[in-house]
Amino acid sequence: MQANSRTSSAAGWAVIAVLFAATTCVESMSWTQLTAYTPLYLRELHVSADQVPGWIAAMSSVGWILALPLAPFWGVLADRYSRKLIIVRSAVLEAVLFGGWALSTSPSMALLFRSLSGFVLGNTGVMLAMQASTTPRQRLALAVGIVGAGSPAGRALGPILGAALVHLVDVRGMLLFDAALSVAMAVLLMVVVRESDHDRPEDLRVLSLLRGALSEIVSKPLVWRLFLATAITQVGTWTIFPYVPIYIGRLAPDNPVTAVGVVLSAVGLGQAVASPLWGIAMQRFGHVWVLNLTSLGAAAALAATGLSHSLVVFALALFVNGVCAAAILTASMAVMASTVSPERRGAVLGQILFPFYIGGVIGPLIGAVAFGAGQTVIFGIAAVLSLAPLVVLLTLRPRPVPGAA
């Protein structure tokens, strides 16, 4: 039954891959726009300049705080009930969130809608699991590559498109545009995606599925080390990321909207191009060598960003950091895709972004405290934390060589 279902759906795997890529592109684009122009949005809500960093910290963290306890369950619920339903859920709630932000009249009301982001997350791993269940084995790497290209493409497109929209229809118009795109993606997902049978564990109880997924992760030293390294680096990323638009605005006071859009889109484009190239490099040189190199590169770039007082230098250093940072997610996805059991695919891959949620909770709070200490301090903290892959992987014992004495 499952074999026939897989064969019948194989012809449409490319359509599903492109649709999932478009979904993640719209999601990434919208969230990048929201983050990039939150300082401007808060000023439109009459928040004073000295209170903006505190509101940014609250809005950046609140959704992640709600996401943390929910994150382990989305992949499990997808395997237990419906992968398609879990994916569509994200698009629908994103439309509500962006629409709510567009209509909010106070920072407290905006914070309430931002908290809905905790119920939006958790669809990336489920999409990968569903793609794997409908794609011929010989095409799976290509399909995952297509789906994986959506998020960095959205990060590249989002800020510059957001700048154009802000100039045309202001921040609220941009948010309504994002809400409309999310509605369109939800409709397309409902109409186009057909959920077929997939391998399921014998025990379908939710908590049992979750225990099985976590046991599989913990049992693999490389996997849990990558989880730990990703979590630490994401704390560093989210320590600076919500506040980067403020620093760009200070360096380009004459046209901060366009400057934010150009710089952040360039960073996103660099990550989009670098991700598949890091995958190729890992195949040739191994993930340990690549992650050690990129950890050092990211730390140096962040240190340079903290010391820069020129927009060009700031942007170039931020670009280099983004290129280096792309390596760790590529490594995590590649390692997990090659080691996950088919019957636990949704549950295990559903945890792949859990370290990002941890970073999203802790990082903005550290950033809010460090912001007052100055640019050098906040980027210095991120630089130190970016060394996590290097430190964590140095503790990984090499695999014994078969047949060695």
Q: For residue 374, what are the CA distances in angstroms to 48, 233, 361? A: 19, 20, 21
With a pLDDT cut of 70, the percent of the chain lying above it is 83
**Least-confidence region, from 77-86, 188-197, 214-223, 290-299:** 214-223
Return the pLDDT at 124. Answer: 79
With a pLDDT cut of 90, the percent of the chain lying above it is 43
Which pLDDT tens digit goes with each residue over 145-202? 778 778 888 988 999 999 999 999 999 999 999 999 999 999 999 999 887 665 555 5
Return the pLDDT at 1. Answer: 42
Return the pLDDT at 249. Answer: 93
Six-digit token string for 79: 């395997």
In the predicted model, what is the mean pLDDT of the chain?
83
Return the pLDDT at 4. Answer: 43
Return the pLDDT at 152. Answer: 80
Nearest to 341 by CA among 216, 226, 219: 216
Return the pLDDT at 70. Answer: 76
Is residue 333 within 8 A of residue 131, CB to CB? The reply is no
Return the pLDDT at 181. Answer: 96
Q: What is the DSSP string of 43-108?
A: HHTT--GGGHHHHHHHHHHHHHHHHHHHHHHHHHHHHHT-HHHHHHHHHHHHHHHHHHHHH--SHH
Cβ neighbors of 190 (< 8 A, separation 6 or more) are: 88
Which pLDDT tens digit goes with each residue over 68-101? 777 667 777 777 778 889 999 999 999 999 999 9
Six-digit token string for 115: 């908290």
Q: Which of 137-146, 257-266, 321-330, 347-356 reaches the highest mean pLDDT?
A: 257-266
Which pLDDT tens digit goes with each residue over 110-140? 999 988 887 887 787 788 778 877 878 777 7
For residues 229, 248, 166, 122, the Cα torsion angle rounded to the nearest 10 degrees is 10
Q: For residue 286, what are the CA distances in angstroms to 193, 212, 263, 293, 352? A: 36, 28, 31, 11, 20
**With a threshold of 0.85, does the pTM exceed it?**
no
Model confidence at 401, pLDDT cuts 50, 70, 90, reads very low
Return the pLDDT at 130. Answer: 83
Q: Which helix (H) or strand (E) holds 140?
A: helix 140-192
**Least-confidence region, from 153-167, 251-265, 343-357, 370-384:** 343-357
For residue 287, how many other CB atoms are within 10 A of its CB?
23
CA distance 226 to 244: 26
Amino acid at 402: P
Q: Scanning the structure block, which residue is given the tokens 């430190």?
A: 391
Model confidence at 341, pLDDT cuts 50, 70, 90, reads low
Six-digit token string for 307: 């010391």
For residue 281, how many other CB atoms are within 10 A of its CB?
18
Six-digit token string for 382: 């991120």
Model confidence at 340, pLDDT cuts 50, 70, 90, reads low
Nearest to 1 by CA among 191, 205, 200: 200
Return the pLDDT at 209. Answer: 61
More confidently predicted of 36 and 180? 180
Which pLDDT tens digit goes with each residue over 231-246? 899 999 999 999 999 9
SS3 sequence of 180-204: HHHHHHHHHHHHHCCCCCCCCCCCC
Residue 257 has pLDDT above 50, yes or no: yes
Return the pLDDT at 8. Answer: 39
Six-digit token string for 221: 């030293």
CB contact burial 185-205 (16+ within 10 A = b; e otherwise): bbeebeeebebbebeebeeee
Select the CATH number that applies to the domain covering 2-394 from these four: 1.20.1250.20, 3.90.1150.10, 3.40.190.10, 2.40.30.10.
1.20.1250.20
